[in-house]
Amino acid sequence: MYDQLTFETREDDLRLRGCWENVLKKVSALMAPKMAERFLHRIRPAELRDGVAILEVPNSFNVEWIRSRCLSDLQRAISEELGETVLVELRINATARRPEVTAITELRAQPVVVERSARCSFEPGDRYRFDNFVTGQSNRLAFAGAKAVASDPGKKYNPLFIYGPSGLGKTHLLHSIAREVLQRDPNFPVVYISAQQFAEELISSLQQGKIEPFRRAQRSVGIWLVDDIQFIAGKDRTQEELFYTFNHLHQTGKQIVLCSDRPPRELHLMDERLRSRFESGLVADIQWPDTETRSAILLNKAHEEGVPLTTQVALYLAEHVPGNIRNLEGAMTKLAVQSSLNNHEISMDLAQEMVELHYSKAALARPSFTQILDVVSKFYRIPVEDIRGTSRKAPIALARHVAVYLTREVTQGSWKHIGHQFGDRDHTSMMHAYEKISKMAGGDRDFANVVRSLLRNLNPDGQ
């Protein structure tokens, strides 16, 4: 059921995994079987570290859903099973989504223990594939380059350099290449690494006097996928190492693919020798996609995640949600969570309300709920999870009530919405909390000053 255990697996992790079935039973009993199947059973208990259980879930939709519906139930069940208080942290599964959290990453069709780097094993997630990459004018060249490289590594465009703003599909393409190559030949030596990981691995191997194994590992690949290369601009030692690796691979006909947020010529702090090497193959850009492409991407995602989104709503979001594809996906997630909480379909009305609440000019200028929790948590020195939790201990309850008060003041959200933000609480309890804080501030000048200064912290331009 879980990834195979590596020699890194710790006793605490095993305890967490050991109790998982019971936790599932307990928490599943509190919700409809369909929901348990859809959300709970996709959680993977990953680690238990310093009293925090890290649970992995496949995507941000699941994170939001679990946060708003059953985070405290999970926390309680795990704590009961382990006989100690445990906090819960949700993380999107690295193998299914963001590769940045992995160390030097060897991609294989099957999970393997990576010998040279004990930190992780990695298989390309299902999420990023050529067949779910939507093409349009904005990304056609990059897509064609990536396809060509995947079908014939080292033969056509070498290196392939893809650049474009964040959140427009560069990592998606890198993963798609890896996936296709490995599907054809599961033993093909594929390395995916972000430039930041490259720098970190380099530093730690220098510290441990193990530079040779590091070099061997980087150079014994058939296809080398380096993400976010802009990160090493200005880092001379890393550039030097990358330069030698690059040359070695290039001379031996190995495929190199690099991604960056800007074109080679604009990597100002990059060594000129590297820059010109980056330009020596195919340089392909990804531009901002037009509205039609944005809505096609969104409809695709919705289909994959089982979110019932109409073309009309997709177009509306594509037009009104500012920012990159990641933001657009985030908006869809919000909408899907909201509709499942309300038990209501994703209508145009709901979409308009959500856009107004989160993406209108006024909303974008407002501090977010996370910022509010953060400010209150820092001030009262109480963890965010407790503020959103169910404890009735006086200091925690006070911090929670203040957070409710600030949320209402700052976001102008409906009581119902605020109730959801605070872990699916009843809207009347939110109103009571607000009134309580208003009264306290009315009768106690010091307390009123505290609330005012917290508000000012969140809203420096306000009065």
**Interface with ligand ADP (CB under 6 A):** 128, 132-134, 139, 166-172, 297, 300, 325-326, 329
Least gap, CB of 59 to Mg ion (angstroms):
16
Nearest to 134 by CA among 283, 328, 307, 323: 328
Q: Are 297 and 134 in contact (CB under 8 A)?
A: yes
Least gap, CB of 97 to ligand ADP (angstroms):
8
Residue 77 or 283 having the CB closest to Mg ion: 283
Q: Is 439 left (phi over 0), alpha (psi -120 to 50) or beta?
A: alpha
Size of the site for Mg ion (CB under 5 A): 2
Least gap, CB of 161 to Mg ion (angstroms):
14
Least gap, CB of 160 to ligand ADP (angstroms):
15
Q: Are 274 and 306 in contact (CB under 8 A)?
A: no
Q: Are 336 and 347 in contact (CB under 8 A)?
A: no
Closest chain position to ligand ADP (CB): 169
Residue 134 or 399 having the CB closest to ligand ADP: 134
75 binds Mg ion (CB under 5 A): no
194 binds Mg ion (CB under 5 A): no
Residue 60 or 171 having the CB closest to Mg ion: 171
Q: Are 58 and 410 in contact (CB under 8 A)?
A: no
Question: Which of ligand ADP, Mg ion, none does residue 20 bind to, with CB < 5 to 8 Å depending on kind?
Answer: none
Least gap, CB of 304 to ligand ADP (angstroms):
10
Q: Are 120 and 103 in contact (CB under 8 A)?
A: yes
Three-state secondary structure string covering 130-194:
HHHCCCCCCCHHHHHHHHHHHHCCCCCCCCEEEECCCCCCHHHHHHHHHHHHHHHCCCCCEEEEE
> What residues between 153 and 182 interact with Mg ion by CB under 5 A?
170-171
Least gap, CB of 166 to ligand ADP (angstroms):
4
Question: Which of Mg ion, ligand ADP, none does residue 169 bind to, with CB < 5 to 8 Å depending on kind?
Answer: ligand ADP
Residue 97 or 170 having the CB closest to Mg ion: 170
Contacts 24+ apart (CB under 8 A), 36-41: 38/306, 39/65, 39/66, 39/69, 39/70, 40/70
Q: Which residues are at the interface with Mg ion (CB under 5 A)?
A: 170-171
